[in-house]
Amino acid sequence: MLFDVVIIGAGPSGLFSAFQAGMLGMKSAIIDSLEVIGGQCAALYPEKPIYDIPAYPEIISQDLINKLVEQAAPFTPEYFLSQQLIALEDHNSFFKVTTSIGTVLQAKVVIIAAGAGAFGPNRPPLENIESYEEKSVFYLITNRNSLANKNIIIAGGGDSALDWAISLSEIANVSIVHRRNKFRAAPATVQKIHELESMNKIKLITNYQLDGLNGQNGILEEVIVADLDGNKKILKADILLPFFGLAQNLGPILNFGLNISNHHIDVTPPYFETNVKGIYAVGDVANYPGKLKLILTSFAESASALHHSYNRVFDGKALHFEYSTTKGIKN
């Protein structure tokens, strides 16, 4: 199957890459190991509110994915889901891409928008935590309303933990457990957390970390936390939400001759091309000095990469840039 561009990853940056490719007259294919479109946004955080998408003061993660799919739809990108990239062969003028189920694609350009690669949640090392998972311990939230009026313990100090704490404080009793009294989230989010604490809408339990779980038949009753001196507290809990990030694995991408640093692909701004001509990396998987891991940043990276690839896709033809308001949507 012949395409101009093969995009690895169907998360936000991959979907926006398909739109940008279409705007430039390129036919695209998107490969993703998940069975659904949307990457982490759909698989792990479908109901998570996002606050830093331009023009959206707040948008739910799955709604953002739906909008991006709708935006790319006029250009009919082809989706190859539930399959992983396992081979990438450079034939100079084109790349041969093979997936885990034997799909073979050919394209002049490859955009790697793989996010965290193959991923899964980092589980806290608590005894018997497996018996509580999917009953009262969850690593993602698929139905926010099902947590209404619950006693919820959120463990973690990053953006996901604090964003969900803010959202769930509207409908439930929320406590945040974090091993330090400083958080790793956006300053405005941290400020909001402290405002909610002052209003007694959120409880902060800092300088403590998870130590144990009490309950029966997978139904949680208490979460035990401990400080660095071994002093313990028992917290009443119906639900535990550990948000400690993702275990990241680039899988076969590590074998394609790309320069890799700490599980990220090295690229060169301003076009985000890898050390292999014609292969670009955008979004969370891309690494370069000053990298800012935001969805909106990945959109700009995708646009720059695809505009740069135009000459390769169309055999040396020069790109005469036009604003979208001028040329409209042409498929």
The string of pLDDT tens digits covering residues 244-257 is 876 666 778 888 99
Name residue 184's amino acid. R
pLDDT at residue 331 above 60?
no
Structure tokens at 316: 């040396």
**How far, in Å, CA of 5 to CA of 119, rounded?**
24
**How far, in Å, CA of 158 to CA of 156, rounded?**
6
Out of 78-92, 112-126, 222-236, least confident range: 112-126
18 membership: H or E segment, kind and range:
helix 12-23
**How far, in Å, CA of 311 to CA of 92, rounded?**
14
Q: Matching CATH topology for 5-119+246-327 and 123-242?
A: yes
Longest alpha-carbon distance in the chain: 69
Please classify residue 200 by burial: count the beta carbons closer than 10 Å to its beta carbon, then call 0-12 exposed, 13-18 middle and 19+ buried. exposed
The predicted pLDDT at position 118 comes to 56
Instruction: Supply φ then ψ for residue 265, to 5 degrees.
Output: -95, 125
The predicted pLDDT at position 194 comes to 97
Query: Where do the structural domains in the chain lie, given as residue ranges?
Result: 5-119+246-327, 123-242
The predicted pLDDT at position 254 comes to 83
Interacting residues of 268 by C-beta distance below 8 A, sequence separation 6+: 288
Name residue 328's amino acid. G
Any idea of the CA torsion for 169, 175, 181, 183, to the nearest 10 degrees? -40
Out of 96-110, 206-220, 240-254, 303-317, least confident range: 240-254
Give the β-pairing of 173-178 and 264-266. Answer: unpaired
**How far, in Å, CA of 174 to CA of 236, rounded?**
11
Structure tokens at 292: 């800012």
323 or 151: whose pLDDT is higher?
Answer: 151
Q: Does the domain at residues 5-119+246-327 carry the CATH identifier 3.50.50.60? A: yes
pLDDT at residue 1 above 90?
no
Structure tokens at 259: 């320069």
The predicted pLDDT at position 40 comes to 79
Out of 40-44, 89-93, 111-115, 231-235, least confident range: 40-44
Q: How far is CA 138 from CA 84, 143, 211, 242, in A?
A: 26, 11, 17, 7
The predicted pLDDT at position 329 comes to 77
- CATH topology for 123-242 is FAD/NAD(P)-binding domain (3.50.50)
pLDDT at residue 187 above 60?
yes
pTM exceeding the 0.75 threshold for the entire prediction: no
Scored b (16 or more CB within 10 A) or e, 222-258 reads: ebbbeeeeeeeeebebbbbbbbbebebebeebeebeb
Q: Give the up-direction half-sphere exposure of residue 18: CA atoms within 13 A in the CB hemisphere.
A: 29
The string of pLDDT tens digits covering residues 98-154 is 999 999 999 999 999 987 665 567 889 999 999 999 899 998 887 889 999 999 999
- Please compute the mean of the pLDDT values over residues 62-77 and round it to a whole number: 97
Share of the chain above pLDDT 70, in %: 96
